[in-house]
């Protein structure tokens, strides 16, 4: 068993324990309440993020090479997203989002341990290629968290429009949603993530074109990965333009966010899943 798998399992265990610690009080009460992670849990989350980072380092850069797979890319995205959350939580009261992020991180790290397959990246010695991949993973991580945020906001908006239920009939998920930060705060966080993610995605396209010119002599090869990345970039660009000129928010903004994320997901994770898992190709 490789070190990457071991550390991914340790990270999954850490995230899982923290998730149970947050969800348990909600299961024992019929009332929703604001989640407060507290200093101890925040430090423990930082430790879990460090374990997750070590797992990715061991899995992606074995023996100074570059090894990538569909689940490693998703694991890296979630890891970067958790770093953003951890930093944002120092200045904003968004601890309730951990009810979603921690189970997602647990599942992702478990899957990364179960599906460790992938392929060695050609020209791994090329510094420009390494920079491009780092920027791409950063954009992927930020937009992944933005998509999770959008799905959570959609669930909260749906609950707000439902008739008021009796306290005894409220389920666990309803109580969990009641413990989330207000929609206004979450919308601010969502568009902050989208702005930063869009800027980094722009850098991803620019550095990708530079790498392609240097290694193949082609400015931007129009394969499926490039096409889906450009579609994602256009989608987020239209969303931000609509936000600035027309004040887009609510369901419209959430739909555009999820469409942009779907394109980005297809640009790498979808293709690697087909190659690594279905076709068993490197």
pLDDT string in tens for the chain (282-residue length): 688 889 999 999 999 999 898 877 766 665 555 556 667 888 899 999 999 999 998 888 777 777 777 788 788 888 888 888 888 877 777 677 788 889 989 999 999 998 887 666 666 567 788 788 888 878 887 888 888 888 888 877 777 766 555 444 556 666 666 667 777 888 888 898 899 899 999 999 999 888 888 877 777 777 777 888 899 999 999 999 999 898 888 888 888 999 998 888 887 655 554 444 444 444
Q: 174 is written with which tokens?
A: 């309803």
Residue 58: domain span: 3-159+168-278
- For the beta carbon of residue 271, count every other beta carbon within 10 angstroms: 15
Domain count, the chain: 1
Instruction: Identify whether the C-beta of residue 190 lies closer than 8 Å to the C-beta of residue 143.
Output: no
CB atoms within 10 A of CB 87: 10
């Amino acid at each position: 068993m490789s070190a990457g798998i071991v550390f991914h399992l340790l990270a999954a265990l850490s995230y899982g324990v923290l998730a149970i610690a947050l969800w348990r009080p909600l299961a024992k009460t019929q009332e929703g309440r604001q989640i407060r992670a507290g200093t101890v849990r925040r430090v423990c989350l930082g430790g879990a993020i460090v374990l997750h980072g070590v797992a990715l380092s061991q899995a992606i850069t074995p023996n100074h090479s570059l090894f990538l797979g569909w689940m490693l890319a998703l694991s890296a995205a979630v890891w970067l997203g958790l770093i953003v959350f951890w930093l944002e939580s120092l200045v904003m009261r968004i601890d309730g989002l951990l009810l979603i992020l921690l189970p997602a991180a647990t599942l992702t790290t478990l899957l990364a341990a179960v599906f460790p397959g992938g392929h060695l990246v050609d020209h791994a010695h090329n510094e420009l290629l390494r920079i491009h991949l780092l920027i791409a993973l950063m954009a992927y991580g930020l937009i992944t968290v933005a998509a999770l945020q959008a799905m959570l906001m959609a669930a909260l908006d749906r609950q707000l429009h439902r008739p008021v239920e009796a306290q005894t009939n409220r389920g666990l998920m309803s109580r969990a949603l009641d413990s989330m930060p207000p929609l206004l705060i979450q919308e601010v966080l969502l568009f902050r993530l989208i702005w930063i993610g869009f800027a980094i995605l722009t850098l991803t396209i620019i550095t990708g074109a530079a790498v392609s010119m240097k290694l193949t002599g082609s400015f931007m090869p129009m394969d499926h990965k490039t096409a889906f990345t450009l579609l994602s970039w256009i989608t987020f660009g239209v969303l931000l333009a609509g936000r600035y000129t027309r004040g887009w928010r609510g369901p419209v903004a959430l739909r555009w966010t999820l469409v942009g994320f779907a394109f980005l997901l297809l640009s790498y994770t979808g293709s690697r899943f087909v190659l690594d898992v279905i076709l068993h190709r490197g």
